[in-house]
Amino acid sequence: MTTIIGTYECKIDAKARVMIPAPLKKQLDSLSDGFVLKRSVFQSCLELYPMKEWNELMQKVNKLNRFKKENNDFIRRFTYGVKVVEIDSAGRFLIPKDLVVYAKIEKDVVLNSVGNFLEVWDKDLYEKAVDDASGDFAELAERVMGGFDDE
């Protein structure tokens, strides 16, 4: 599993292309393998998975019993709007129009690492999401991470 580190501010051009910053490019194993871009489950942003990470995730999804309606509904919603994207020779990826609209991306974009994938945010929405969550972060950190005792 690849761990991606960092938060990067970028611009989106008139054709909806985003340049991957050089420090981020260095972390991504193989740009030529391509990426998968999808709607986030929990936020109004997109998720950009290196193809290797996407394939590992889909191995888990494919283990779901498709004879259960709930599982089929989940798979359909989870993969709704999924697009394969490639990095061009200039180091850019194209965000398809339907996903630009979904994520309300205008001109400034934030690429935020979340472990093994990146979130793709409109900058204003990203800052609002961070601000909305920051008020009780200490309590959240204790609830989520406070149960780990490594001793």
pLDDT per residue as tens digits for the range 13-36:
999 999 999 899 888 867 678 899
Residue 150 lies in a domain: no
3-state secondary structure of 97: helix
Residue 73 lies in a domain: yes
- Residues of the domain holding 26: 7-145
CA distance 5 to 66: 35
Residue 2 lies in a domain: no
CA distance 72 to 70: 5
Percentage of residues of the chain with pLDDT beyond 90: 68
In order along its 151 residues, the chain shows pLDDT tens digits of 578 999 999 999 999 999 999 899 888 867 678 899 999 998 999 999 999 999 999 999 999 999 999 999 999 999 999 999 999 989 899 999 999 999 999 999 999 999 999 999 999 999 998 887 666 777 877 888 887 666 5
Query: Comparing C-alpha atoms, which of 124, 119, 93 is closest to residue 12?
Result: 93
Residue 123 · residue 9 · CB < 8 Å: yes
CA distance 29 to 51: 10
C-alpha R_g of the chain: 17
Domains in the chain: how many in total? 1
pTM: 0.88
Extract the runs of DSSP E, i.e. beta strands, from 65-105: 83-85, 92-94
Residue 63, number of CB atoms within 10 A of its CB: 8
Residue 1 lies in a domain: no
Residue 12, number of CB atoms within 10 A of its CB: 21
Residue 83 lies in a domain: yes
Residue 151 lies in a domain: no
CATH of the domain at 65: 3.40.1550.20
Residue 130 lies in a domain: yes
